[in-house]
Amino acid sequence: MSDDEPDLELLALLQKSLGLNGVSAVGPAETRVLESAEYVYNNSIDVALDMRGTKAAASTIWQLMHEKEYSFKQWTEHELHPKSKDKSTVDFIFVLDLLNFCFWSDSDAEQRFAIEYKGRRWTGYWSLVAALQRALDEETPIASPAYWGSQCQDCMKQTLSHVFRSATAEEIPLLDERISCVREAGQVLLDQFEGTFTTCIERAKGSAAALVNIIVENFPCFRDEARFEGKTIRFYKRAQILVADLWACFEGQSYGNFHDIDKITMFADYRIPQMLNSLGCLQYSPSLDHHIRQRKPIDSGHSWEIQLRGCSIWCVELIRREIVHHHPKAHVNAILIDFFLYDTIKAQEADGIIAIPHHRTRSIWY
Ligand SMILES: Nc1nc2c(c(CN[C@H]3C=C[C@H](O)[C@@H]3O)cn2[C@@H]2O[C@H](COP(=O)(O)O)[C@@H](O)[C@H]2O)c(=O)[nH]1
């Protein structure tokens, strides 16, 4: 912890003792993710932004989003996403984004981990949604923290192995880590939040940033941070996409009603950097470019990984500013740009269009 950084653990303890759990004791809550992203961008040497490419991409993205009338409504339109707008859907979204990480495989399309559901094989993020929906259809209460808390370690391993049983010989990546995440989160929800994530939402008092802070302060498996050039870099990818999925699913109402939703940044995963690179926004140094094209792994916490993630967040922020500058009345935020880019690259992948592979880091963070 460097001198200029407040001790978040101590601050969290103080806030908890004052009953200000996760809600900033003074002034509006901030996640400090964008500040981290700008710092990474200003100190990156292997990843750079191409300003002409970024401006051109902003124009293209806006045009396509406008033509498609892209909004948070697309979230519910996805075949596998939950349709009911109630507490059970909050619990579903919590377990979804608790486990929303690391689906990439080095196996080919036929051999890679896949979930069979509704007569189709689902891979990647959609394999997770399919597995959870299939579990609910089979009456396994996979979204219930009380159920997780009642399971011993071995029972939980058996349950999740069954929930994530693959249609191929390859199992879901990081299964043991996923079991640990469920057990840890279940314990925290039961001990501190009356066994339901809706208590966290209530304590955030309508602030998306406060809810992100409550999540990362109380659930270590969401605390997506790294050290880079002497500073703590905050990405908070799953905490932010959890808040964004609530906002999109509930269309800004009820459990998705946040007055500061535009403080949420792009979600630093492995897909959006790939898309930004193929759009000519993100440029890699020759050694990094070669490494990624060779499909070689990059360790979690490696400088290259932090530069890829931080510069991607900053790039989407510049795209957002460019769009809002030319279309002041447009309701576009980093979430919708991000969702649009993810859906677009998945559609391109389905059509066999991929310029350069995505980077390969195995971690629970994204
Ligand atoms: N930045 C960003 N990352 C996203 C998503 C989503 C899905 N969001 C849905 C909800 C609304 C949107 O409209 C999407 O339909 C998954 N991921 C991440 O990607 C990786 C999975 O990739 P692949 O293995 O190819 O499926 C993995 O790290 C996963 O966490 C997103 O939206 N943004």
Nearest CA to ligand 1 atom 7: 125
Tell me if 8 sits within 8 A of 275, measured CB to CB: no
Interval 299-321: pLDDT, tens: 999 999 999 999 999 999 999 99
Q: What are phi and psi of 295, to 5 degrees?
A: 60, 35
pLDDT higher than 80, residue 140: yes
How many angstroms does the Cα of residue 249 sit away from the middle of ligand 1? 15
Question: 0.80 cut: is pTM over it?
Answer: yes
- Cα(277)–Cα(297) distance, rounded to whole angstroms? 18
Nearest CA to ligand 1 atom 8: 339
Nearest CA to ligand 1 atom 3: 269
The mean pLDDT of 92-98, rounded to a whole number, is 98
The per-residue pLDDT for 150 is 85
180, containing H or E segment: helix 175-192
Query: Which pair of tokens denotes residue 6?
Result: 């407040």
How many angstroms does the Cα of residue 17 sit away from the middle of ligand 1? 36
Please give the residue that has the higher pLDDT: either 9 or 350. 350
The per-residue pLDDT for 191 is 96
Q: What are phi and psi of 49, to 5 degrees?
A: -100, 140
How many angstroms does the Cα of residue 125 sit away from the middle of ligand 1? 6
pLDDT higher than 50, residue 230: yes
The per-residue pLDDT for 6 is 61
The per-residue pLDDT for 152 is 86
Active site positions, annotated: 269
ipTM of the complex, rounded to two decimals:
0.99
Interval 107-118: pLDDT, tens: 999 999 999 999
Interval 232-289: pLDDT, tens: 999 999 999 999 999 999 999 999 999 999 999 999 999 999 999 999 999 999 999 9
Nearest CA to ligand 1 atom 18: 269
Average confidence score pLDDT of the chain = 94
How many angstroms does the Cα of residue 285 sit away from the middle of ligand 1? 26
- Please give the torsion angle defined by the CA atoms of residues 279, 280, 281 and 285, in that order, rounded to the nearest 10 degrees: 130
Lowest mean pLDDT, pick from 129-143, 144-158, 219-233, 326-340: 144-158
Binned at pLDDT 50, 70 and 90, residue 8 comes out as: low
The per-residue pLDDT for 282 is 98
Measured from the Cα of 104, ligand 1's closest atom is 24
Nearest CA to ligand 1 atom 21: 125
The per-residue pLDDT for 149 is 85
- Cα(72)–Cα(10) distance, rounded to whole angstroms? 37
The per-residue pLDDT for 18 is 61
pLDDT higher than 80, residue 5: no
Where are the domains positioned within the chain? 8-79+226-350
Q: How far is CA 217 from CA 104, 221, 242, 278, 358, in A?
A: 28, 10, 15, 35, 30
How many angstroms does the Cα of residue 342 sit away from the middle of ligand 1? 6
pLDDT higher than 60, residue 2: no
**Burial label, 118 (beta-carbon count in 10 A; 0-12, 13-18, 19+):** exposed
Tell me if 64 sits within 8 A of 329, measured CB to CB: no
Q: What percent of the chain has pLDDT over 70?
A: 93
- Cα(345)–Cα(351) distance, rounded to whole angstroms? 10
Binned at pLDDT 50, 70 and 90, residue 1 comes out as: very low
- Pocket lined around ligand 1, Cβ cut-off 6 Å: 74-75, 78, 100-101, 103-104, 124-125, 267, 269-272, 338-339, 342-343, 366
Q: How far is CA 107 from CA 84, 167, 266, in A?
A: 36, 14, 28
Tell me if 159 sits within 8 A of 149, measured CB to CB: no
Binned at pLDDT 50, 70 and 90, residue 16 comes out as: low
The per-residue pLDDT for 12 is 66
- The angle that helices 237-249 and 87-98 make with each other, rounded to 10 degrees, is 150
- Cα(227)–Cα(306) distance, rounded to whole angstroms? 9
